[in-house]
Structures are given as structure tokens and as C-alpha cells.
Amino acid sequence: MTETTPPPNLAPDISPAPAEKPAKTKTDANIDVQPVLQKLFELYPHLFGSKFLPLKLGTYQDLMSAHPDVFQKDSLKAALGFHARSTRYLQCVVAGNKRHDLQGNAVEDVSPEHVYVSLLQLFSRRQARSKVDLRAEFRAQLIAAFEASGLSRQDYQLRVQTNEAEATLLLEEALAEYDAKFAKQTALRRAFESSGKSAAEFAEMYGLDKHAVDSMLKSLHL
């Protein structure tokens, strides 16, 4: 699959990407990004070293302003695009890290849309290499991302939904699974509140695992 250069704000392509080929460091414009990536590592090992961190929106402009004699516009843009599409970078995005500036300061949250797109790209790459159906794992990750976003179900769906039919189906499946989980928790909460029992007594009465009941009550702040 050919790679396109993202805009300077590092927003990724929203279409699922295939399994990446680490050995390839040339873009469609035949730009070898390896020397630029090496220079970025030397200048900012805390961002481009052994551990990646999500980059602040506008990092391209910040780098050009800080190092006008070191980087060329096209090669820097291509290198940042290559970096932002790498599996390691996508993994650091979905891990819940904040965006960081060049000094290593956490400056802003990664948007729910970007987290969703990163999850989708990682799933697409892993599924392309696996004979096992990974959709259940992806749904669990997506539910966790939705809960971490703090958005309502409707707002989340409006913000992350794309025109890709398969991606839309995966999103709907994950949200349906969340709805079922939430309905079960709500019913269990109501039953507990009306029982007048302690958590241990309630668990024994319904044949439930006490730790599972404790966890449920904790998540519901009861």
C-alpha cells in the first residue's frame, strides 16, 4: 500500500492501514526518511527514542522554527508522517499518553478520534497477519477507549464514525456490547440496592463471585 504524507499537524489517515514493513524508509516521493529520523532521535531522544510519546499538534512547525538550518520542509514532513504511522507510535497513542511538546512536557490529551483511528489501524495490521479472529479483543479495547473518553455514547459515535463500512460495523458491535454490559450492571445495581444485603450476602444469594460484585459496586461508586 502506498503511503501518503499527513499534514503538519500529524493527523493520521483515517483508513485502516495494512501491516507495515519496518525495513522501508522511503516515501512515495522517494524521500529517504531515515537520516531525518536519526536526527530527531539525536535531538529529542525522549520523544523519538526507545519510548515514543504522542506529539503535540503543530510539532512540524515547532521543529522548523527551532531548527531551520537542520531540516528541510519536505523531508521533515515525510519523516514525521512515517513516524506517526508506525506501529510503535500508534501503540503509544492508544496507551492513553498525552501529547507532548519538544521539551517533553505533557500539553494536551489525544482526541478520542485519534485514539479510535489508531486502534483501528493497529487492529487492521494485526488481523492481516493473524489467522485468529481478533474482533473480540478489538471490541474490548474500543469499549475501554470509549469509557476513557468521558463522552456520551451518541457523542462518541458522532465524533469517531467514518465512512468505512467495516469500521462502522466494528464500532456498532463494540457499542452494542457496551450497551449489554451497562444494562446488566444497571440491573445488578438495582437488585443490590433493593436487597438490603451486604456485598458478600448479595453475592452468595445470587451465586456470584464476591470480587466481581465488589468490582461492580466500585465502578458504580456504591
Domain regions of the chain by residue span: 1-110, 130-219
The yes-or-no verdict on residue 209 having pLDDT over 90 is no
Q: How confident is the model at residue 6 (pLDDT cuts 50, 70, 90)?
A: very low
- What confidence score (pLDDT) does residue 154 get? 93
The yes-or-no verdict on residue 179 having pLDDT over 80 is yes
pTM of the model: 0.75
Lowest-confidence range among 20-29, 97-106, 197-206? 20-29
Give strand pairing partners of 106: 100
- What confidence score (pLDDT) does residue 24 get? 61
Please give the Cα distance from 186 to 190 (Å, whole number).
Answer: 6
Q: How confident is the model at residue 198 (pLDDT cuts 50, 70, 90)?
A: confident
- What confidence score (pLDDT) does residue 23 get? 46
Q: Which three cell numbers stand for residue 1?
A: 500500500
Please give the Cα distance from 100 to 107 (Å, whole number).
Answer: 6
Q: What is the CATH number of domain 1-110?
A: 1.10.1710.10
In SS3 terms, the chain reads as CCCCCCCCCCCCCCCCCCCCCCCCCECCCCCECHHHHHHHHHHCHHHHCCCECCECCCHHHHHHHHCCCCCCHHHHHHHHHHHHCCHHHHHHHHCCCCEECCCCCEEECCCHHHHHHHHHHHHHHHHHHCCCCCHHHHHHHHHHHHHHHCCCHHHHHHHHCCCCHHHHHHHHHHHHHHHHHHHHHHHHHHHHHHHCCCHHHHHHHHCCCHHHHHHHHHHCCC
Q: Which three cell numbers stand for residue 11?
A: 493527523
Q: Which three cell numbers stand for residue 9?
A: 499537524
User: Dihedral of CA 173/146/214/137: which sign?
Assistant: positive
Strands 106-108 and 99-100: antiparallel
- What confidence score (pLDDT) does residue 28 get? 54
Is 144 in contact with 175 (CB distance < 8 Å)?
A: no
The yes-or-no verdict on residue 39 having pLDDT over 90 is yes
Q: How confident is the model at residue 43 (pLDDT cuts 50, 70, 90)?
A: very high
Greater confidence (163 vs 10) lies with 163
- What confidence score (pLDDT) does residue 201 get? 83
Greater confidence (5 vs 142) lies with 142
